[in-house]
Structure 1
Amino acid sequence: MAEENNTPTPPQGFIRRFLALPTDSVPKTIFVAVSVCLVASIVVSAAAVALRPMQAVNALKDKQINILQVAGIYDPNQDVVEAFGAFEAQVLELESGAFTDAFDPASFDDRAAADDPATSVALSDDPAGIGRQARFVTVYLLRDEAGAIDKVILPLHGYGLWSTLYGFIALEENGNDIFGLQFYEHAETPGLGAEVDNPRWKALWKGKKLADDSGALQISVSKTAPAAGAEYHIDALAGATLTTGGVHNLVNFWMGESGYKPFLENLKAGNL
């Protein structure tokens, strides 16, 4: 009679026990889910890092297109970089209303300057809802064939209903007549506040005036025209009261004493 083998079976390791589990077991399901998430996050992170330079280039191109559009010289058939070469970029010191050579306009970052305590100020009176205001901004000049200023393009931003709206306002050489206004970044409600992008509403800005003959700021974005007259009034966006109020506040803030008024006074006086 053969002897029985009483040698104990060695215990299986963790990996073997895991592999021996049914495919639809809870541990295997969790393992697969975590593995897929981990691989996906690595792929997304790698793609984000690899595409960051391209995203920066595309963002700059979009900004340049918006400047060309608000100035009325955008041609989709022309190279954007070539067309943008018509503009003269200058870094402006807001307080003095004069250009400064302390920064290179080609590399100066307006948003970074607004976040840096060394180049910005915290606002106590903040109708535009921006928190901090940069003391320096990049402005764009468009000159005619004789070299005289034809238009100035000024960046502005402020809070609407859900987001900060970033855009540009184009002024004629007198610093008072509006040629156009355009926002290139916001997250307002589609069909309501997002109508700031509607060409018909943007067209309402052309030919309006900022201030009256005494220099008092009169520009208004509202349901009814101000007492000063229709030449200072832009109709409110239908169903978007808070976005409309935000646009009104940001335009008046940036065109006022705390914004571009010193620069516009220098422009009118021919001191640039």
Structure 2
Amino acid sequence: MASNKDSFGRTLFVVVGLCLICSVLVSTAAVLLKPIQQENKLLDKQKYILDAASLINTKEGNVTKKEILSKYEQYVEARLVDLKTGEFVEGDANVYDQRKASRDTARSSIPENDVASIKRVADKAVVYLVRNDEGKLTSVILPIHGYGLWSTMYAFLALDTDLNTVQGLVYYDQGETPGLGGEVENPKWKALWKGKELFDAQGNLAISVTKNPVVASSVHGVDALSGATLTSNGVQHSLDFWLGKEGFADFIAKARNGGLS
């Protein structure tokens, strides 16, 4: 006769009990770790903002948490911008989640000319104003994103105070092919952007990610990534959208007319 300990009911009880215990442990860990994850996510973003502003170099690998927090607090001011008006608006830009807002139909819209394949654009965006030790504005950083070959690519575009000359373009979240499209994070390719101008003398968007060596060597051109045409196109389309009317165009125009003072 089979022992009661080997009964189906006892076995089922043990299995269900273990599942419940594991579920409680996983749920508890998720709740306890969430604040840490959010803190690390914010720290990571601040690190790349500082990199775009040339205040740190993320590729050196020796940047401490203390250094990131200290420099960000000292030099960077995050501000919310209403993309429909180009005006600064009230709100805590440091906790505003632009990606989450873009998924909320009450706080976003479908762009009319979605060249960057972003699907929805949040009504508000964050811009980062960087100042030196004397408090003088030295750069303005715009968050941009757009679809490449395999993924949505997120970057920070750092500009001089003329809102035209590029200080840096730093991609911090992308899932493109390593060694090909993933080269958007290559320091050599990033260095090509410094000093390039986004707009021509008439104010038209002129920056071009191109395989044409003549154009690439001009003040309005950057070499396309070798073997990664669709990723390069994604970079171009991101710039086309975010520097256009449905992106930061109104903000840029007002900033040039004293909107940052």
TM category, shorter: 0.7 to 0.9
Q: Distance in 2 between matches of 1:235 and 1:83?
A: 32
2:40 aligned to which of 55, 58, 71: 58
The structural deviation recorded for 1:143 is: 2.2
Q: Structure 1: give runs of 5+ residues left out of the alignment.
A: 1-10, 20-27
5 Å-filtered alignment, 1:102-251, equals 103-224=91-212, 230-251=218-239
- Work out whether 1:88 is the aligned partner of 2:88: no
Aligned with 2:219: secondary structure? Answer: helix
Question: How far, CA to CA, are the matches of 1:105 and 1:17 in structure 2?
Answer: 60
The correspondence for 1:48, drawn from 27, 30, 35, is: 30
> Residues 174, 17 of structure 1: CA spacing in aligned structure 2 closer, same or farther, 3 A cutoff?
closer
Distance in 1 (CA, whole Å) between partners of 2:219 and 2:15 is: 62
Gaps of 5+ in 2: 58-62
| Amino acid in the other structure paired with 1:239 | G
Count of matched residue pairs: 253
User: How far off its partner does 1:188 sit?
Assistant: 1.0
| Aligned equivalents of 2:78, 2:171: Cα separation in 1 | 19
CA distance 1:37–1:248, shift in 2 (3 Å): farther
Q: Which structure shows the bigger proportion of residues in helix conformation?
A: 2
C-alpha distance 228-74 of structure 1, shift in aligned 2 (>3 A): closer
Q: What's the Cα RMSD here? A: 2.9
The worse-fitting range, judged by mean Cα deviation, of 198-207 and 136-145 is 136-145
Asked whether 1:100 is paired with 2:89, we answer yes
Deviation at 1:123, TM superposition (A): 2.0
Cα distance in 2, alignment partners of residues 18 and 223 from structure 1: 69
Which residue matches 1:3?
A: none
Q: 1:154 to 1:35 in 2, by over 3 A?
A: same
CA distance in 1, matches of 2:7, 2:41: 53
Aligned-partner Cα distance in 2 for 1:229–1:58:
39
Q: Note the C-alpha offset of 1:194.
A: 0.8
What is the CA–CA distance in structure 2 between the aligned matches of 1:112 and 1:235, rounded to whole Å? Answer: 33
Question: Whose radius of gyration is greater, 1 or 2?
Answer: 1
With the length of structure 1 as denominator, give the TM-score of the two structures.
0.82
How much identity, in percent, do the aligned residues show?
Answer: 43
Shift of 1:54: 1.2
> C-alpha separation between the residues in 1 aligned to 2:54 and 2:243?
21
CA distance in 1, matches of 2:227, 2:184: 12
Stretch deviating more after TM superposition (50-59 or 180-189): 50-59
Asked if 1:16 is matched to 2:1, the reply is no
SS at match of 2:155: strand
Distance change >3 Å, CA 188–CA 33, structure 1 → 2: farther
Taking the aligned partners of 1:74 and 1:216, their CA distance within structure 2 comes to 32
* Contact persistence 1:226–1:232 (CA under 8 A): no
What aligned pairs does 1:252-271 form with structure 2 within 5 A after superposition?
Answer: 252-271=240-259
